[in-house]
Amino acid sequence: MTDWTEQTDQARNWFEDLRDRICAEFEAIERDAGSDAVFTYTPWDREEAGNDDPGGGVQGLMKGNVFEKVGVNVSTVRGSFSPEFAGQVNGASAEQPGFTATGISLVAHMANPHVPAVHMNTRFLTTQAAWFGGGADLNPPLPYEEDTADFHARFRAACAGHNPTYYDRFKKWADDYFFIPHRGVHRGVGGIFYDHLESEDDAAFERNFAFTRDVGEAFLDIYPKLVRRRMESDFTEAEKLQQLQWRGRYAEFNLVYDRGTLFGLKTGGNIDAILMSLPPEAVWS
C-alpha cells in the first residue's frame, strides 16, 4: 500500500471519539466532587512552507478540583520531515521525507497526591511504512499495590485478546522506556508501551487498529475507577511535597527523553499542546 488516507481518517475519527468519551467521564468525576470544571478546546493549525494542507489539531484542557491539570489532545498532521530528522523515523529518509500522523495524547496531573497521575497515547503514522504505536503508564506519587495491580491487569486483558506475547513484551518496553537514566529510577509503576505495529496491508491495519482501540477502551475503563477510589483521601503537607518532588522527575523525563515531545517539536506542532504534559506545579529540592 502507498496511500493510507482512508486508514488515517478512520484512525483520526476513532481518536476523536475516544477523546470525547474520556473528557465526558473526567467531567463527570468533577461533578461528583462538586466542581463545575469543564474542558476548554483550542484548535490550532500547523504551518509548513510550501504545504497547502499541513493539518493541525485541538488541545483540550481542564483544571478542576480533582484534576489539577489534564490535557487531552488530538492532532492530524501531514507534510515532510526535515532532512536531518527524516533519517531517524521508520520508513522515511532525506529522499522520501513525507509523513502523516494522527493520534490522541493525554496527561493528567491530580490535585490529591493519593490519586495517580497518568499518561496515555495512541497514534497512527505513515511514511513509506505505516504503523500504530502507543500505550499507557501509571505515575503515582504515593503508589498503592492494589492500584498498580488493577491497572496492569486491565491492560494484560486487553493484550490477551490479540496476542499472548503482547503484554509481557509491551510491559517490558514500558519499563525500559519510562526510565530516567540520570536519576536511575522509573518515572512510575509502568503499564504498556508499543511502537511499529506495521500495517503493510489492509489485514494488518485492521488487526493493529483493533488492538489500539482496545488499548484506548482499557484506559477509559480502568483509570476513572482508580481516580474515584482515591480522590477523597486525606493527605498531609509531607505527602503533597512528595507529589511535587515526584512531578519534577516527571518533567525531567518529558523534556529530556520523551520521543513524543521531540516528534512534536521537530514537526512544527503546537507548543502549548506539546508541553501540556508538564505539571502545573513542581519542586526541586
Let me know how long the chain is: 285
The closest alpha carbon to 131, from 93, 175, 100, 162, belongs to: 100
> What is the C-alpha separation between 75 and 276, in angstroms, rounded?
14
> What is the C-alpha separation between 129 and 102, in angstroms, rounded?
14
Cβ neighbours around 144 below 10 Å, total: 16
| 119 among known catalytic residues | yes
> What is the C-alpha separation between 175 and 135, in angstroms, rounded?
12
Q: Single out the catalytic residue among 114, 119, 152, 186.
A: 119
> What is the C-alpha separation between 192 and 212, in angstroms, rounded?
12
> What is the C-alpha separation between 253 and 244, in angstroms, rounded?
15
Q: Provide the annotated active-site residues.
A: 119
